[in-house]
Structure 1
Amino acid sequence: MKVKIVRCSSVPNNFLQSLSTSAAASSSPSISMAAPRSLVAETSIRLVDRDEENVESPTRKRFKADKFPLSRWEFAAALGVFLVFSTGLCCIYLTMPAAEYEMLKLPRTLADLRLLKDHLANYAQVYPAKFTLGYCSTYIFMQTFMIPGTIFMSLLAGALFGVVRGLFLVVFNATAGASSCYFLSKMIGRPIVNWLWPEKLRYFQAEIAKRRDKLLNYMLFLRVTPTLPNLFINLASPIVDIPFHIFFLATLVGLIPAAYITVRAGLALGELKSIKDLYDFKTLAVLFLIGSILLIPTVLKRKRIYE
């Protein structure tokens, strides 16, 4: 460490020359006890400032932890993918027949959903193929980029398409969107998940490590039950090395029970008072019962291993 000497008018020049000579000859900085107090204090402040640059203080660590997790290249890649998807979605909408576009918006409440359903009911009957294409592309776009509101899209499917066709569309779109989110997370998701859910990610990674032999059963359990949010599962799965074929199959099959409940509720959209009414105690109990049945092979295999 070198000591930078600042000239002061109150210090004689011969003293500064002798101090510079002694500092250069010595391996560590030293200051004569005969130096004036003002020079000693100023030099000490400079030494402290230099040392603080190399010390990771809690404030500095907190500042680094709060920084946006993506690098410039990662952010550019995510933005590029988003622009590609957005351009494709806009092209699909521009090729559709004219409509009152001011009425077309993503619903955020049940009231918005009822107005949208009334507006689109006739449109879906007149142009079924083009309407289905627009519906599917919107659903997949929302699922890929984690835009809230897919539950309203599932309710809309039940209201406009019925149970059978609506269930097929919801499961297909949710699986396709989750798969797109999986590959997007594989490219840039690790810093985001570590930034948003560090503890939950460590828990998920430990649980996956314990269930490698029956990973499909565990992933089905997670998809059927609301143990972990689907958004987190989509983002974290490639980070904890869940193979895509297991992720895809668990998503395709595991989303059927919850999708059926939501689509069926869309038939009685006018009677639905709150989104919370979809998952009451009875519904959650049934979902956890189905998930527990899916975990039976894992429990039996672990029991045979310990025996």
Structure 2
Amino acid sequence: MCSDRAMGERAVPDSADSISRFPLTFWEVTIAVSVVLIYVLGLLGVYLTMPASDYSFLKLPHSLEDLQVLRDHLEDYTSDYTLQVLVGYCVVYIFMQTFMIPGTVFMSLLAGALFGVFKGVALVVFTATAGASSCYFLSKLIGRPLVFSLWPDKLSFFQSQVAKRRERLLNYMLFLRVTPTLPNTFINVASPIVDVPYHIFFLATFIGLIPAAYVTVRAGIALGELRSIGDLYDFQAMATLFLIGIVSVTPTLMSKNKP
């Protein structure tokens, strides 16, 4: 394990160097572009294998109005072409998670509207975990300079917390996943950089996303009653998530208080 001093030095890049050059090298950019092309080809393949129809309504939802239009068009289509919709949904969700594209909350709502609570939660947890894992490995390859340039303060904080909680890291990662302490996007990108092992990352992601996925998917069933995204996380929902998070991190707190 690196010393605190070494970790601190790694967490704070030389300011002159970070300003004077682009964060990514030529080969890192090449890798990133290659991964993007692979996902784009996957999306294109899904689109070309769909039955002939008018797909002018297909677009990434950025508002509840967009989502309601998408739901209205896909409801009948899903019953006739369930497999195509499932594959397309998975590819789009994983693509968005991998490249930190905003809007996955709308995709989670859509899962509830199209597939119901239990199937919707299973679908969201699977795709969110797969997308987070894809982001983890992409960041492991090329993410270090980007994270240093975008979130230097958050990275230093995350790095110090991981170092202090190495023995109970799963509990701490569960706490972060369940509660909105740090953005999920940041956790996905920063975890390999601060040496969070993948098996810990995977378990914390898979288990920790279930409560929030349940809240969002359940709200998707009554999509027409939502007025804003803020309605998803009322006081009761937030209190429940924090309670689950506190329970998950309790073993870590108890181990710190032992003499």
Normalization by structure 2: what TM-score?
0.92
State the distance in 1 between where 2:88 and 2:208 align.
25
Deviations 1:156-191 (CA, angstroms, capped at 9, x unpaired): 000000000000000000000000000000000000
Cross-structure match for 2:39: 85
Cross-structure match for 1:199: 153
* Pair 1:296-2:241 in alignment: no
State the distance in 1 between where 2:130 and 2:26 align.
28
The one-letter amino acid of 1:86's match is V
Number of equivalenced pairs: 245
- Contact kept? 2:18, 2:149, Cα under 8 Å: no
Cross-structure match for 2:135: 181
* Pair 1:143-2:97 in alignment: yes
State the distance in 2 between where 1:99 and 1:112 align.
19
The one-letter amino acid of 2:77's match is Y
Q: SS at 2:166's partner residue?
A: coil
> Which deviates further from its counterpart, 94-103 or 240-249?
94-103
Identity %: 64
* Equivalent in 76, 80, 96 of residue 122 of structure 1: 76
Aligned-CA RMSD value: 1.2
State the distance in 2 between where 1:205 and 1:164 align.
36
Q: 1:259 to 1:66 in 2, by over 3 A?
A: farther
Cross-structure match for 1:30: none
The one-letter amino acid of 2:139's match is S
Deviations 1:119-163 (CA, angstroms, capped at 9, x unpaired): 111100111111111111111111111111100000000000000
Q: SS at 1:255's partner residue?
A: helix
Cross-structure match for 1:74: 28
Moved over 4 A (4+): 61-64
State the distance in 1 between where 2:21 and 2:225 align.
45
Q: Cα offset for 1:99?
A: 2.4
The one-letter amino acid of 1:150's match is T
State the distance in 1 between where 2:158 and 2:17 align.
27
The correspondence of residues 1-307 of structure 1 with structure 2, limited to 5 A, is 64-65=18-19, 67-304=21-258, 307=259
Q: Report which structure shows greater RCO (CA 8 Å, sep ≥6).
A: 2
State the distance in 2 between where 1:155 and 1:134 align.
16
Q: Cα offset for 1:66?
A: 7.0
The one-letter amino acid of 1:259's match is A
Deviations 1:23-50 (CA, angstroms, capped at 9, x unpaired): xxxxxxxxxxxxxxxxxxxxxxxxxxxx
State the distance in 2 between where 1:295 and 1:64 align.
36
* Pair member with larger Rg: 1
State the distance in 2 between where 1:86 and 1:300 align.
47
Q: Cα offset for 1:67?
A: 4.6
- Contact kept? 2:174, 2:204, Cα under 8 Å: yes
The one-letter amino acid of 2:180's match is P
State the distance in 2 between where 1:63 and 1:209 align.
26
State the distance in 2 between where 1:66 and 1:265 align.
47
Q: Cα offset for 1:68?
A: 3.0
The one-letter amino acid of 1:277's match is D
| Unmatched 5+ stretches in structure 2 | 1-14
Q: SS at 2:56's partner residue?
A: helix
State the distance in 2 between where 1:208 and 1:63 align.
27
Q: Cα offset for 1:98?
A: 1.6
| Unmatched 5+ stretches in structure 1 | 1-60
